[in-house]
């Protein structure tokens, strides 16, 4: 029976929206300064539409990792393999060890998803989930959850005790 290794709550990121807004503002000002004001106004309307669309489509919900391994085993990573065990540095799949699930906010059912990481930095985590990339910013979740998710994706064993991440 799978056991829950980690559950994280992902919220909309204010930093992400601020960065997107700043980028749209700079591009709009450059277009307005280099071309006619009419083209700048069109760019501002299109940019505002993109910002509103990005805000509405933000992935908000809960992500959890289930493992089939024994409670004494440390879960090694997103694919169940430890980075230290891989001489090539590439992940070698170990099917059936780890399963990822997603539950949108406001809904009670967990849905199995395919998930792989595309980038793991000190602050940003990029996850490829269901044919789209989800960027998790530092203010998208509490710092402890962000750190635990980052460690799990990097293959660092987590201390698991009664569903609590240590």
Render pLDDT for 147-163 as a digit per residue (tens, 0 to 9): 888 888 887 665 544 34
H or E segment and range at residue 156:
none
User: How much is the pLDDT for 164?
Assistant: 46
Res. 59: pLDDT tops 60: yes
User: How much is the pLDDT for 115?
Assistant: 85
Residue 4 to residues 64, 78, 115, 156: CA-CA distances in angstroms? 7, 13, 16, 17
Domain ranges of the chain: 3-12+60-165, 14-56
Measured CA to CA, the distance from residue 110 to residue 103 in angstroms comes to 5
| Residue 83 DSSP one-character state | G
User: How much is the pLDDT for 93?
Assistant: 36
Mean pLDDT of the chain: 74
User: How much is the pLDDT for 159?
Assistant: 55
Q: What is the mean pLDDT of residues 34-55?
A: 85
The pair phi, psi for residue 161, each rounded to 5°, is -145, 110
* Tokens 């909309």 -> residue: 12
Measured CA to CA, the distance from residue 147 to residue 132 in angstroms comes to 22
Decide: 151 and 143 in contact? Cβ < 8 Å: no
pLDDT band at 28; cut points 50, 70, 90: confident
User: How much is the pLDDT for 161?
Assistant: 40
Tens of pLDDT, residues 68-117: 754 444 434 444 433 333 333 333 334 447 788 888 877 778 888 888 88
User: How much is the pLDDT for 157?
Assistant: 62
> What are the residues facing 113 on neighbouring strands?
100
The first and second tokens of residue 61, run together, are 């919900």
User: How much is the pLDDT for 12?
Assistant: 80
Q: Angle formed by the axes of helices 14-34 and 37-56, to 10°?
A: 170
Residue closest to 77 by CA, chosen among 60, 94, 62, 56: 94
User: How much is the pLDDT for 87?
Assistant: 36
Residue closest to 54 by CA, chosen among 10, 24, 9: 24
* Tokens 């959850």 -> residue: 145
User: How much is the pLDDT for 88?
Assistant: 34
| Residue 158 DSSP one-character state | P
């Amino acid at each position: 029976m799978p056991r829950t290794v980690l559950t994280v709550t992902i919220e909309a990121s204010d930093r992400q929206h601020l960065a997107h807004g700043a980028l749209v503002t700079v591009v709009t000002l450059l277009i307005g300064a280099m071309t006619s004001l009419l083209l700048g106004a069109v760019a501002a309307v299109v940019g505002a539409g993109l910002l509103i669309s990005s805000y509405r489509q933000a992935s908000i919900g809960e992500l959890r990792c289930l493992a089939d391994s024994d409670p004494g085993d440390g879960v090694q990573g997103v694919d169940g393999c430890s980075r230290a065990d891989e001489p090539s540095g590439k992940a070698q799949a170990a099917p059936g060890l780890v399963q990822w699930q997603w539950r949108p906010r406001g809904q009670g059912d967990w849905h199995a998803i395919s998930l792989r990481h595309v980038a793991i930095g000190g602050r940003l985590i990029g996850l490829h989930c269901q044919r789209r990339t989800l960027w998790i910013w530092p203010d998208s979740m509490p710092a402890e959850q962000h750190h635990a998710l980052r460690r799990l994706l990097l293959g660092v064993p987590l201390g698991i005790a009664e569903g609590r991440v240590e």
